[in-house]
Amino acid sequence: MTQELNPSELERSDEAPSAKRRWRLSRRGFLIGLGAAGASLAVGAYFGRPALHLFMAETLAASEHAGSSFMQLPEDPPLWLEVLPDSRVRLSMVKVEMGQGVHTSIAQIAVEELGISWDDLVVVQADTSSELSDGFGTGGSFSVATSYGPLRRAAAGMRSLLQKEAAAALKQPERALRVEGRGFALAEDQEQRVDFHRLAAGITDWELPEEEQLPLKAVDAFTVIGQSVARVDIPDKVTGRAKYGYDMRLPNMLYGAVARPPTLEATLRSASAGEAEGMPGVEQFVIDVEEGFAGVVANSRSAAWAAVQAMQTEWDEGHLWQQEEIEALIEPEGAGGVTIQREGNAAGVLGRGSAISATYQSPFAVQTPLEAPAALADVQEGQVNVWVSTQSQERAKGLIAEALGVEAETVRVVPTYLGGGFGSKLDTGVAIEAALLSKAVGAPVHVGWDRVEALRNGYLRPPTKNILTGALDDAGRMAAIEHRQGSSEVAFSFMPNFLAYVMGADFGATIGSRIEYDVPNRTVTAWRRKLPVWTGWWRGLGLFANTFAVESFVDELAAAAGADPLQFRLDHLPDSSSGRRMGAVLEAVAELSGWGTPAPAGRARGVACFISNTMVAQVAEISVDETSGEITVHDVACAVDCGLVVNPDGAKAQIEGNVMWGVGSTLIEQAFVKDGQLALNNFETYPLLTMREAPNVRSVLVDTGGETPFGMGEPPIGPVGAAVGNAFAAATGRRIRTLPMTPERVLEALAASGS
Amino acid sequence: MELKVNGTSYTLDAPDDERLLWALRDRLGLTGTKFGCGVGICGACTVHINGAAVRSCLMPLAAVAGSEIGTIEGLAETDGDDVIELHPVQQAFIDYQVPQCGWCMSGQIMQAASFLAQNPQPSVEDTARAMSGNYCRCGCYVRIRQAVQQAAAALAGAEEAAT
């Protein structure tokens, strides 16, 4: 296996496009998302918006992928696969590699169905000039799940077509042939063989077999899928050779920097060179006050950064927001609540008896991948090339074309490796800046943000406030739960308004807020309030905060019932396939963690889980220093059922990374607004988890017979906060319901009377 | 200005106060050394100066002229583009499939290589302390810890074999 990256070929691709072949139209799956939206409009017209919104939320929860219609990838073999002159096969990757290992796991899918050896596949990142396009981008833990079916069919189709051709070339029946090296050979006489390239070169008009006749391998015959294949991108990542957006270079390249608004609502009033005039290395100032743009191009990055600081800019500040004002906005009450789940009559039950109520909160948080946003743009007449660390090259292409006022077809966006994404690199601002500066100066321009720019100028994870009220019946079972969830926009920041109208609740903000346990009366209502801070995608979206609330509350109900928290969860799983899968995962984590045996001296355990297509259960083992108020997370045991596992070691790496993210968000990470601006400077104001605080992570992948893969990059982040909080309650008898669990909050909780 | 990087001398026309990180990346094209924070907190820019792990984002060129500067590109034994033999830390990072996005990894590896040269038999606590100035946002800490311990064992084995 070799990894071939377009970004390292910095010359514009002048390779002649291979002769176009004719292909039958590929089959398209039924478009679930569009179907749901179409149907729901009718429902909405008939029943009114609340019913529409409930219907949409239920439909999304029931569908495999939110909005799967626009995530549909093509199945035409030549879009994915090409036979090289040496008869190796080249696989084009439309998904980007940001550390989640998809260039390897997706390659495994292709190799499996092609039947070739691992070393005979070459992986290349597709750029937007490829017909293999992906309107959604890379995120949402959808890469393997959405590539699996289409790529299997594309690869099996390719193999079948080549085999048919080989049969004709060798004058043998197809069934007598098998893949041997980089071609087909007669099974009984390997001397009779023909290479892939000779087969492919002669073909101009192929017909794909019908879906039923595609020779797909049986899942239990897989030999590549399900193996811990070594990642294709790692060798270049330990030798410094891997190229990211920040590393892109062209001859005669210049460096750009752009002035940043001093406050959240600031608008540019005037800008000029000011004291930057004549500074060494400065090439050109680029100012468009109407567009709010004031930038500079220089011959070194240091010179560009120094010059932009010295430029004269005046801003209208707008309202100087304070943190308390923003927190008041996300109260889950009053107008605008959208009910996203309703069964039975929770309000009726809760109004009758003694109810338990608790409020959970989480703060703003920043994705802050260690590679800050970066792009290189080369804008020439009729052709724009942009290399960028992006999770959505198609979105970048459209926005760059719009900003430059050129046709989208003239813009080619080349995704590089990403030095982390975590949702933040669906933003493309840096690529637009580089393009505008390159256009103005007439040379390639690289823009790389510094850390302070990166912390303040992207979108954040919105704060949340979740109020849960519940009641037990006489047998100690959960009889009713009402969940009121307040937050801001996550997905809706990036979606057209009409979709927000149709959907009502922002699925990105509400993910994890449904009550999936078997509770006869349950209602979940979400409030989405626009904030003066840009909020959006973050690893797991609202999953981390909502699961913290729901799974902490379930623990509180278990305590009220006097039940073992793990058994309590098992006792409330729905009698369904997902209930049984979750049960198996909970039992696996019980075994892995030694649940039911005493924890080591001074430590306590807490359990939490998340029910979705991917099932996750975790047990955190912690200790609390009652003098300093520090919580130490020693060990997190995690069991996951993510359906069919393509690369077990890669899946485990995702579990480990998610646990670290979860622990960081549980103990450390928080951002504030102060005097109209995010109070974020550099990492001293937003420290990250280090190896010293990093727990040991043990994981197990539970096989419940899933035949398709589900997401793995985000679900394991869900339960971490609740597992730690539940362990804290087990250790101290107290609860911390506001994240992060800082030493101050710990000492406060320990000093308070009662829980 | 004369810089000696990975055994090669370069003459640069750069300001004395330019930070080593940008000279390496933008003037010499050695982009394996990464920018993370620019203030010496995250460790992504770690290089070796006369063998010691140093944050290149803070280091003015004038302060390192004449020193032996080592970057990730010079850590393995190479012949042109061919890697002859990886440093034991690099090998361990492959063996444990450590990197995810990889952006911090040059810094992690340079930090670990320098640390192990000074402390060949570290305890797990020693390793955590020595590596705690290197952020990994993907959260590869479990594997970094394991890989550094394995590299220590490999280095000790090599030492033993040599004596």
Helix (H) or strand (E) holding A615: strand A615-624
Strand-pairing partners, residue A380, are A383
How far B151 CA sits from the closest chain A CA (Å)? 14
Question: Which residue is associated with the tokens 């597992």?
Answer: A723
Q: What is the pLDDT of residue A232?
A: 95
**Across the interface, do A234 and B94 touch by the CB < 8 Å criterion?**
yes
Query: CA dist A634 to A275, A589, A599, A624, Å?
Result: 53, 16, 11, 11
Query: Residues with Cβ < 8 Å from B76, sequence gap 6 or more?
Result: A239, B83, B84, B85, B86, B87, B90
Interface test with A, best of B73, B79, B104, B141 (most A CBs within 10 A): B141
pLDDT band of residue A13 (cuts 50, 70, 90) is: very low
**Across the interface, do B145 and A421 touch by the CB < 8 Å criterion?**
no
Average pLDDT over residues A192-204: 89
Beta-sheet pairing, A356-362 with A374-380: unpaired
Query: Residues with Cβ < 8 Å from A58, sequence gap 6 or more?
Result: A340, A341
Query: Residues with Cβ < 8 Å from A254, sequence gap 6 or more?
Result: A283, A297, A298, A299, A437, A441, A443, A444, A445, A446
* CA A633 – CA A695 distance, rounded (Å): 6
pLDDT band of residue A754 (cuts 50, 70, 90) is: low
**Across the interface, do A690 and B135 touch by the CB < 8 Å criterion?**
yes
How far A383 CA sits from the closest chain B CA (Å)? 25
Contacts of B103 in chain A (CB under 8 A): 244, 369-371, 419-420
**Across the interface, do B35 and A300 touch by the CB < 8 Å criterion?**
no
* CA A528 – CA A605 distance, rounded (Å): 34
Q: pLDDT higher for A287 or A496? A: A287
Q: pLDDT higher for A202 or A690? A: A690
Report the range of poorest mean pLDDT among A133-147, A184-198, A303-317, A423-437. A133-147
- Tell me how far apart the 2 most distant CA atoms of chain B are, in Å: 46
Mean pLDDT, all residues of chain A: 91
Q: What three-state secondary structure class fits A370?
A: coil
List, for residues A679-709, the tens digit of each pLDDT value: 999 999 999 999 999 999 999 999 999 899 9
User: Which of B41, B72, B127 is opposite residue A240, by nearest beta carbon?
Assistant: B72
How far A647 CA sits from the closest chain B CA (Å)? 12
Cβ contact A735:A755 at 8 Å: yes
> Nearest 5°: phi and psi at A745?
-70, -35
Cβ contact A465:A488 at 8 Å: no
The dihedral through the CA atoms of A719, A725, A729, A731 has a sign that is: positive
Cβ contact A437:A446 at 8 Å: no
Q: Which two tokens stand for residue A307?
A: 């010059």
Question: Mapped to the 3 state alphabet, what secondary structure does chain B carry?
Answer: CEEEECCEEEECCCCCCCEHHHHHHHHCCCCCCCCCCCCCCCCCCEEEECCEEEECCCCEHHHHCCCEEECHHHCCEEECCEEEECCHHHHHHHHCCCCCCCCCHHHHHHHHHHHHHHCCCCCHHHHHHHHCCCCCCCCCHHHHHHHHHHHHHHHHHHHHHHC
- pTM across the whole model: 0.93
How far B65 CA sits from the closest chain A CA (Å)? 19
Measured from the Cβ of residue B96, the count of other Cβ atoms closer than 10 Å reads: 22
User: Which of B103, B128, B140 is opposite residue A244, by nearest beta carbon?
Assistant: B103
Query: Residues with Cβ < 8 Å from A283, sequence gap 6 or more?
Result: A254, A297, A298, A299, A441
How far B159 CA sits from the closest chain A CA (Å)? 23
Measured from the Cβ of residue A222, the count of other Cβ atoms closer than 10 Å reads: 16
User: Which of A302, A371, A656 is opposite residue B22, by nearest beta carbon?
Assistant: A302
* CA A358 – CA A101 distance, rounded (Å): 39
CB proximity B126 to A under 8 Å: no
Contacts of B33 in chain A (CB under 8 A): 240
User: Which of B14, B102, B128 is opposite residue A692, by nearest beta carbon?
Assistant: B128
Q: What three-state secondary structure class fits A107?
A: helix
* CA B34 – CA B136 distance, rounded (Å): 13
Average pLDDT over residues A632-658: 98
Report the range of poorest mean pLDDT among A54-58, A132-136, A198-202, A674-678. A54-58
Measured from the Cβ of residue B85, the count of other Cβ atoms closer than 10 Å reads: 10
Contacts of A691 in chain B (CB under 8 A): 127-128, 131-132, 134, 136, 141, 144-145
Q: What three-state secondary structure class fits A752?
A: coil
Window 1-60 of B, Cβ < 8 Å to A: 14-15, 18-19, 22, 25-26, 29-39, 41-42, 44
Residues of chain B with pLDDT under 70: 163
The single-letter DSSP state of residue A20 is P
Average pLDDT over residues A357-373: 98
- pLDDT at A63 exceeding the cut of 80: no
**Across the interface, do A691 and B128 touch by the CB < 8 Å criterion?**
yes
Contacts of A233 in chain B (CB under 8 A): 99, 102
Contacts of B136 in chain A (CB under 8 A): 370, 660, 691
Question: Which residue is associated with the tokens 């070691």?
Answer: A649
pLDDT band of residue A68 (cuts 50, 70, 90) is: low
* CA A500 – CA A586 distance, rounded (Å): 36
The single-letter DSSP state of residue A7 is G
**Across the interface, do B42 and A370 touch by the CB < 8 Å criterion?**
yes
* CA A258 – CA B77 distance, rounded (Å): 41
pLDDT band of residue A40 (cuts 50, 70, 90) is: very low
How far A606 CA sits from the closest chain B CA (Å)? 21
Residue of B nearest to A248 (CA): B31
pLDDT band of residue A47 (cuts 50, 70, 90) is: low
Q: What is the pLDDT of residue A3?
A: 59
C-alpha A129 chain-centroid distance = 24
Average pLDDT over residues A618-642: 98
Query: CA dist A632 to A176, A328, A635, A662, A667, Å?
Result: 62, 32, 9, 13, 9
User: Which of A241, A249, A683 is opposite residue B41, by nearest beta carbon?
Assistant: A683
List, for residues A141-182, the tens digit of each pLDDT value: 889 999 999 999 999 999 999 999 999 999 999 999 999 999
- pLDDT at A9 exceeding the cut of 60: no
Size of interface A-B (CB pairs under 8 A): 177
The single-letter DSSP state of residue A66 is T
Contacts of B76 in chain A (CB under 8 A): 239
Window 131-160 of B, Cβ < 8 Å to A: 131-145
- pLDDT at A719 exceeding the cut of 70: yes
The single-letter DSSP state of residue A109 is H
- pLDDT at A129 exceeding the cut of 60: yes
Average pLDDT over residues A710-716: 94
**Across the interface, do B137 and A302 touch by the CB < 8 Å criterion?**
no
Q: pLDDT higher for A474 or A69? A: A474
pLDDT band of residue A135 (cuts 50, 70, 90) is: confident
- The candidate with the shortest Cα–Cα distance to A663, out of A630, A685, A639, A640, is A630
* CA A451 – CA A682 distance, rounded (Å): 6
Question: Which residue is associated with the tokens 């319901």?
Answer: A737
pLDDT band of residue A309 (cuts 50, 70, 90) is: very high
Q: What is the pLDDT of residue A134?
A: 81
CB proximity B73 to A under 8 Å: yes
Helix (H) or strand (E) holding A586: helix A577-593
Q: What is the pLDDT of residue A214?
A: 87
> Nearest 5°: phi and psi at A345?
-135, 80
Q: pLDDT higher for A136 or A529? A: A529
Q: What is the pLDDT of residue A7?
A: 39
Strand-pairing partners, residue A185, are A178, A193
- pLDDT at A30 exceeding the cut of 50: no
Q: What is the pLDDT of residue A203?
A: 74
Report the range of poorest mean pLDDT among A28-32, A171-175, A509-513, A556-560. A28-32
**Across the interface, do B19 and A302 touch by the CB < 8 Å criterion?**
yes
Average pLDDT over residues A422-447: 96
ipTM of the complex: 0.97
Q: What three-state secondary structure class fits A345?
A: coil
Residue of B nearest to A254 (CA): B26
- pLDDT at A530 exceeding the cut of 60: yes
List, for residues A569-604, the tens digit of each pLDDT value: 999 999 999 999 999 999 999 999 999 999 999 999
Contacts of A687 in chain B (CB under 8 A): 41
Question: Mapped to the 3 state alphabet, what secondary structure does A376-433 carry?
Answer: EEEEECCEEEEEECCCCHHHHHHHHHHHHCCCHHHEEEEECECCCCCCHHHCCHHHHH
Measured from the Cβ of residue A27, the count of other Cβ atoms closer than 10 Å reads: 11
- pLDDT at A39 exceeding the cut of 70: no
* CA A674 – CA A679 distance, rounded (Å): 6
List, for residues A85-104, the tens digit of each pLDDT value: 999 999 999 999 999 999 99
* CA A525 – CA A594 distance, rounded (Å): 37
Contacts of B39 in chain A (CB under 8 A): 451, 682-684
List, for residues A239-273, the tens digit of each pLDDT value: 999 999 999 999 999 999 999 999 999 999 999 99
> Nearest 5°: phi and psi at A92?
-85, 130
- The candidate with the shortest Cα–Cα distance to A641, out of A575, A692, A589, A564, is A589
Average pLDDT over residues A638-645: 97
Amino acid at A499: L
Cβ contact A621:A604 at 8 Å: yes
pLDDT band of residue A140 (cuts 50, 70, 90) is: confident
Query: CA dist B125 to B41, B51, B122, B141, Å?
Result: 20, 22, 8, 13
CB proximity B83 to A under 8 Å: yes
C-alpha A612 chain-centroid distance = 15
